[in-house]
Chain A
């Protein structure tokens, strides 16, 4: 075995994965080659020191553990599917879906004309938004929120959301409090918490993809179809603008979610 072969096998040698025959051959080479021996020794040394330093760093996972325990107790025999994967861009299909959805909405509104058209099955992404809102806003899970205006803008832009978007809703009766990113149904959403002075509510933003919004349409505001769902004590009102998918989660009895969504439909 030569120096090249030893170098190639070093990762397996250091992790103890070489079979006895090859391990013996490496050992034999090392005994006769001080240069390879010294190289291997310094690698092993650096590995040990790296492990000691990085594994020794303080990592506090208590917030994560509390969160997952709470989630598990919410879905003890869970089989909730994540939101279906985003379809590839299909402009024609998308226009068709939007057109169909619009016609469906108009027909439904004409036929029903009432609020709270609730599907018996709440879409997983809405259920995830409600659970997230309950844990992180209603129950105040200890999380790293951003409060700084510039940092919030940067966070939004990193997600393909215009920096002004979170602040567009922070006018009139509403004030932006804090923001962070979160996963809902396996996708990243930009989560912003607003208050009207007495109650807090959540708005989840995401750069719009090709996917249509799940759920039943409720009304059309400023050309945007607004969907509503209720789950427990919360209401989710969602809409899509040209660039954004938006979900508002608030206490269902306050009626705030729909008002905020109407405000968003006009402002964005």
Chain B
């Protein structure tokens, strides 16, 4: 293994689980998700010369992932959907408490899957993967204002689906965006 391979191994390969986690919730198909991540890593490897050491490798890899996903998105999305935990529209019915600490994993997972692709994307990147709004803007190629309003709406939708009695304080502003 040469030096560049070692470098790639230490920078990119450790992100494969994060990439796969997001890819699975974008495509809802484990095999297509694996292909999406393979293609992402392959493209990353082929453009590794342009990657500047010390810059944000995670954001760089996720940017590639979304580029590949959007380029192929329509076909990827039209593939068979397998959602073992998803119960569309049922999340709220199954839970009436506003105490989030009681939310069980299956319900949270189902509520996330119920979100629109745009909302699911920002929740996955900001909340689960811990990217900042600026990083999201960079990864998705959209203005930071759009990231903020999308994130606000996504969080509100998520809370409403999990807790029907959630305060609607922020909804008016969020939906006005």
Contacts and interface: CB of A to CB of B under 8 A. Distances in A.
B11 to A, nearest CB: 12
A59 B159 contact: no
Interface in A1-48: 3-4, 7-12, 15-17, 35-36, 38-39, 42-43, 45-47
Interface string A43-59: 10111011101111101
B16 interface: yes
A164 interface: no
A51 B42 contact: no
Contacts of B134: 17
List 10 A-B pairs, minimum CB-CB distance, nearest first: A144-B31, A61-B16, A183-B39, A11-B151, A68-B41, A7-B170, A53-B105, A61-B17, A11-B148, A54-B128
A267 interface: no
A67 interface: yes
A7 B174 contact: yes
Interface size class of A (residues with CB under 8 A): 35 or more
Contact of A35 (B100, B127, B132, B167): B167
Given A54-B128, A57-B109, 9 more contacts: A17-B134, A42-B167, A50-B127, A54-B21, A72-B45, A143-B34, A154-B80, A158-B75, A160-B75
17 contacts: A7-B152, A7-B174, A16-B132, A39-B167, A51-B127, A53-B108, A57-B21, A59-B24, A68-B41, A71-B42, A72-B45, A78-B45, A79-B46, A181-B79, A183-B36, A186-B68, A188-B75
A16 B126 CA distance: 12
Contacts, number: 168
B169 A72 contact: no
A59 B1 CA distance: 27
Contact of B133 (A17, A42, A72, A158): A17
Nearest to B44: A68
B109 to A, nearest CB: 6
Interface of B: 1-2, 4-5, 8-9, 13, 16-17, 19-21, 24-25, 30-32, 34-39, 41-43, 45-46, 68, 71-72, 75-76, 78-80, 98, 100-101, 103, 105, 108-109, 112, 123-124, 126-130, 132-134, 147-148, 151-152, 155, 158-159, 162, 166-167, 169-170, 173-174
A53 B110 CA distance: 11
